[in-house]
């Protein structure tokens, strides 16, 4: 059974460019989370969805960040325009309904480098 | 500062020895989880302990929770080289959304063959 799938695994872009990160959650999971991990700040929750609806986006750093979940099997995190301080590993995680979103399964992450 | 803080930040042991990692947190919690992260990979859920539980076992893992001290420990018995990874505690609190996990900064465990 495939786990959470993220693409791309690595992204290098120049400051000012738009970046789109993609995530396919585990089939049957109804919660989807986007996290960012840096050495300085550790793992931070950016936004999460339940049944494709954004529930809490209070962790999104600023208006340059946006996330969508058009259907149960796909989500995107977009940064426009990107800045060097956005460099981090971005993780997507999903969670099955029988855990109420508490037990989360993480994807392999996308390592973003903004130069 | 983060809700969960692991201690120690780094731990190096010989294969076969036991490894103990601690996590302290600040506010009341619904539950606490431990995750493992291998280098360059995503986090893997290990075990969840609820606030009304004191101890839980899963294979070679033993987790304890002391809500009066706001602390938890993860014990890995008979460690193996494959246990080398970073270990994070994550708390789910009573305020806000129970789905919001707050992760600690992690303990880097190295098991030497």
The residue of B86, B96, B100 whose CB has the most chain A CBs within 10 angstroms, and thus the best one to mutate to test that interface, is: B100
The Cα–Cα gap between B73 and A110 comes to 30
The Cα–Cα gap between B66 and B97 comes to 22
Q: For position A15, what pLDDT does the model report? A: 97
Report CB contact under 8 Å: B42, A50.
no
Q: How many CA atoms lie within 13 A of A21 on its CB side?
A: 33
Q: How far is A107 from chain B (nearest CA, A)?
A: 5
- Decide if A5 contacts A107 (C-beta within 8 A): yes
Q: How many CA atoms lie within 13 A of B93 on its CB side?
A: 13
Q: Which residues of B touch A43 (CB under 8 A)?
A: 43, 88, 103
**Is the pLDDT at B4 greater than 80, yes or no?**
no
Which tens digit of pLDDT belongs to each residue from B16-72? 999 999 999 988 888 999 999 998 889 999 999 999 999 999 999 999 999 999 999
Q: Which residues of A touch B34 (CB under 8 A)?
A: none
Q: Closest by alpha carbon to B85, among B17, B21, B27?
A: B21
**Is the pLDDT at B94 greater than 70, yes or no?**
no
**Is the pLDDT at B2 greater than 70, yes or no?**
no
Q: Closest by alpha carbon to B35, among A46, A77, A70, A102?
A: A102
Distance of CA B95 to the CA centre of its chain: 21
The Cα–Cα gap between A95 and A4 comes to 10
pLDDT band at B5 (very low <50, low <70, confident <90, very high): confident
Q: What is the mean pLDDT of each run of 10 residues along chain A (115 residues)?
A: 91 97 97 94 92 92 94 97 96 91 92 97
The Cα–Cα gap between A59 and A37 comes to 13
Q: Closest by alpha carbon to A24, among A78, A73, A71?
A: A73
């Amino acid at each position: 059974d495939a786990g959470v799938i993220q693409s791309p695994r690595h992204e290098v872009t120049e400051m000012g460019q738009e970046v789109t990160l993609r995530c396919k959650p585990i089939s049957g999971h109804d919660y989807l989370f986007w996290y960012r991990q840096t050495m300085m700040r550790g793992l931070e929750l950016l936004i999460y969805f339940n049944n494709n609806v954004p529930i809490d986006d209070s962790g999104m750093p600023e208006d340059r960040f946006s996330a969508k979940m058009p259907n149960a099997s796909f989500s995107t995190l977009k940064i426009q325009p990107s800045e060097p301080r956005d460099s981090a590993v971005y993780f997507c995680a999903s969670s099955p309904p029988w855990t109420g979103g508490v037990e989360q399964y993480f994807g392999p992450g996308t390592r973003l480098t903004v130069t | 500062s983060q809700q969960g803080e692991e201690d120690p930040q780094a731990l190096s042991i010989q294969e076969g020895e036991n490894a103990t990692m601690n996590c302290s947190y600040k506010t009341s919690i619904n539950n606490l989880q431990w995750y493992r992260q291998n280098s360059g990979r995503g986090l893997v859920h290990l075990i969840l302990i609820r606030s009304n539980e004191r101890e839980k076992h899963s294979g070679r893992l033993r987790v304890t929770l002391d809500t009066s001290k706001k602390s938890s420990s993860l014990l890995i018995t008979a460690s193996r080289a494959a246990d080398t990874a970073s270990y994070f505690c994550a708390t789910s609190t009573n305020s806000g959304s129970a789905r919001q996990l707050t992760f600690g900064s992690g303990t880097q465990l190295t098991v030497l063959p």
